[in-house]
Amino acid sequence: MLGPPGAGKGTQAERCARAHHVPKISTGDILREAVRAGTELGRAAQAVMDAGRLVSDDVVVAVARERLSREDAAHGFVLDGFPRTVAQAEALDKWIDAKAPLVVVDIDVPEDTLVQRLASRRICGNCGWNAVPGIAACARCGGPLVERSDDGDEVVRERLRVYWRSTQPLVEYYHRRPTFRSVDGDQTTDAVAADIAAAVASVTGGRA
């Protein structure tokens, strides 16, 4: 899943993973878990993430490589937030070269919509679950909902600048591939999910 912060990658990746019975793998979630646990990786990443910048390629690639090597990812996976740079995409190509086709879905959302979404986004303070609008507590553990530390107004704008500068080139990297699809993310969650399902099916023939 490609797309800027606030495009709904996490929500859509989770739905897609459930539909295909494969794990959703988010390097952002892994890094945030490390921050909450106070690990060495978490401490190193926290300042970078809180400032709205991207964690270095070597750290993200190492995290992703370890996660993709686990048994539950052997028969497929949905990637959320990885790759975010061309260097990360090149590393991913080397790992999956002999496996099934890599389906790349870009969720396209206008910038004004992204700023509005990010300003109102909340996550669970206990487990890190991304909350859907209109609920008062985490649907997973019942924990309190809080603003993400990287969703403040100035940080949001910096994250979008970083995206357009560092991550948008991924669209150029992938868009000529026959497995690349772009969907309109400025729709209801269900409508975006339906478009993503159709996009994946058009590449895989309906297979997971």
3-state helix/strand/coil string of 62-91: HHHHHHHCCHHHCCCCEEECCCCCHHHHHH
Structure tokens at 192: 């975006």
Q: Write the single-letter amino acid at 11.
A: T
Residue 24 is a catalytic residue: no
Q: Does 165 qualify as catalytic in the annotation? A: no
Residue type at position 51: A
Closest CA to 103 of 23, 190, 199: 199
Q: Give dist(CA 167, CA 100) in Å, integer.
A: 24
Catalytic residue among 32, 122, 159, 181: 159
Distance of CA 185 to the CA centre of its chain: 14
Query: 149 with 51: CB under 8 angstroms?
Result: no
Active-site residue, from 9, 24, 32, 67: 9
Within a 10 A sphere around the Cβ of 189, how many other Cβ atoms?
14
Active-site residue flag, 43: no
- The question of whether 207 is a catalytic residue gets the answer no
Which of these is catalytic: 15, 117, 121, 181?
Answer: 121
| Active-site residue (options: 32, 84, 117, 122) | 84
To the query of whether residue 177 is one of the catalytic residues in this protein, the response is no
> Which amino acids are annotated catalytic?
9, 84, 121, 148, 159
